[in-house]
Amino acid sequence: MPTPLAIRRFEAPARRGLRRRLRTLKKDWVVAIGDIHGRYDLLTALIRELDARFDHWGEGSGHLVVLGDMIDRGPDSRHVVNFLKRLTEEVTRATVLLGNHEAVLLDVIAGDATAQRLWLRHGGEATLASYDIAPPRDGEDSIAFGMRLADQIGADTIEWLRDRPLSVRHGDYFFCHAGIRPGISLSRQADDDLLWISDAFLDDERDHGAVVVHGHSIVDDPEVRVNRIGVDTGAYRTGRLTAAVLNESEGWTATTDPLTIERRLPHGDRLHVTAGPH
């Protein structure tokens, strides 16, 4: 019987001096999940399988990082957001980053007409459907639509989205949605680059001061380079959601297999990641 996950092991990228100057993760695990885009079924299945295969990653010193783009394109944005919001409220070692899709949604809610057009062209209608919200009505301006959207999504959820960080660092790994601007200190990165950068980051082979773990740019298979790890495998259309599972000296990529993962899982599922100190 085929495994529900495709798992590939790799050694931690050995940048110059990494072994000597590593801000060690010690026995910490960091699990970074790529762009979910409304695939609640894949998210819950992936975490369940990680619980089963990587003992104790969610306990003690384990960390979970979600790399943004929770919403749009896939069918269950509302359930993904509700699940991750609850998770961050219950587990201090879980971090959910802002992605460019969430950033655009916040602009839509604020009444930005350009953002509204962009959002609806790039998967926003799927999010509307998941919240049972009608698309913009004839004659409805962007401010009125934003207010209607905000009312349906709810003030608590919107505030939670606004509070999402753009990056987090664990040891010698730096996590963000899209990537970083090469040649600029990690502490001075522009918000737009963390959310939107593409080729200028992907094509650069320099040492960035940390191994950058990111999503945003879809790849057929997870990419492990000397200076970055890319884990967006286009879950919303491929059924393949990827996580990077990292510790101080080695790592794995784990990707759902669309042929063996169930299309839907109960929305009330609770996962073992809540174990350990909060």
76 and 213 fall within a common domain? yes
172 and 257 fall within a common domain? yes
Q: How far is CA 229 from the centre of its chain?
A: 13
217 and 194 fall within a common domain? yes
Task: Give the DSSP H/E element, type plus range, for residue 9.
Answer: strand 5-11
Report pLDDT digits (tens) over 187-210. 999 999 999 999 999 999 999 999
Task: Give the DSSP H/E element, type plus range, for residue 278.
Answer: none
| Portion of the chain with pLDDT greater than 90, in percent | 71
207 and 251 fall within a common domain? yes
143 and 259 fall within a common domain? no
What is the CATH classification number for the domain harbouring 13?
Answer: 3.60.21.10
**Domain annotation covers residue 278:** no
Report pLDDT digits (tens) over 150-183. 999 999 999 999 999 999 999 889 999 999 999 9
Token digits of residue 6: 């495709």
Domain region containing 65: 5-98+166-272
Q: Which of 112, 121, 33 is nearest to 72 (CA)?
A: 121
| β-bridge partners, 64 | 31, 94
Rounded to whole angstroms, the Cα distance separating 208 from 225 reads 12
Looking at residue 28, its pLDDT comes to 74
189 and 136 fall within a common domain? no
Looking at residue 54, its pLDDT comes to 72
Task: Give the DSSP H/E element, type plus range, for residue 243.
Answer: strand 242-246
Predicted TM-score of the model (pTM): 0.88
* CA distance readout (Å), 184 to 46, 90, 223: 34, 35, 23
Rounded to whole angstroms, the Cα distance separating 182 from 99 reads 19
